[in-house]
Amino acid sequence: AQSVTQLGSHVSVSEGALVLLRCNYSSSVPPYLFWYVQYPNQGLQLLLKYTTGATLVKGINGFEAEFKKSETSFHLTKPSAHMSDAAEYFCAVRVYNQGGKLIFGQGTELSVKP
């Protein structure tokens, strides 16, 4: 069975500091992995995704993530946090059967301090 674990339900950083949001997955087949962002009272917006190919994936708003098979990780990073990055972030893995559903982690709320 496939699963996703996000380490840390809350992460707080200062403006300008590195953002690191951790995601580990479990999958018996090559995974498709996703990061979504949710701003307060809004829906989910795709930040980036990994399917095949290059393991360093660049997304929107300066975010990137690196797929590390040996560590079963897909951590999200951004070199310099901005106040507008404050949101909840979800890591997800696609299931190959069952209609290709996504399995989500529990989410990490990012706070950015001035």
Partner 1 sequence: NAGVTQTPKFQVLKTGQSMTLQCAQDMNHNSMYWYRQDPGMGLRLIYYSASEGTTDKGEVPNGYNVSRLNKREFSLRLESAAPSQTSVYFCASKSPQGLDWLYGYTFGSGTRLTVV
106 binds partner 1 (CB under 8 A): yes
Is 72 among the residues that bind partner 1 (CB under 8 A)? no
Q: In angstroms, what is the C-alpha Rg of the chain?
A: 14
| Residues 7-46 as x/- pattern, contact with partner 1 by CB under 8 A | --x----------------------x-x-x-----xxx-x
Binding residue count for partner 1, defined by CB under 8 A = 25
Instruction: Figure out which of the listed residues 3, 12, 51, 55 binds partner 1, where binding follows CB under 8 A.
Output: 51
78 contributes a contact to partner 1 by CB under 8 A: no
Tell whether residue 49 is a contact of partner 1 (CB under 8 A). Answer: yes
DSSP codes joined into one string, the chain: --EEEEE-SEEEEETTSPEEEEEEEE-SSPPPEEEEEE-TT--EEEEEEE-SS-SEEE-GGG-EEEEETTTTEEEEEESS--GGG-EEEEEEEE-SSGGG-EEE---EEEEEE-
Q: In whole angstroms, how close is the CB of 13 to partner 1 at the nearest point?
A: 20
Q: Which residues bind partner 1 (CB under 8 A)?
A: 6, 9, 32, 34, 36, 42-44, 46, 49, 51-52, 90, 92, 94, 98-107
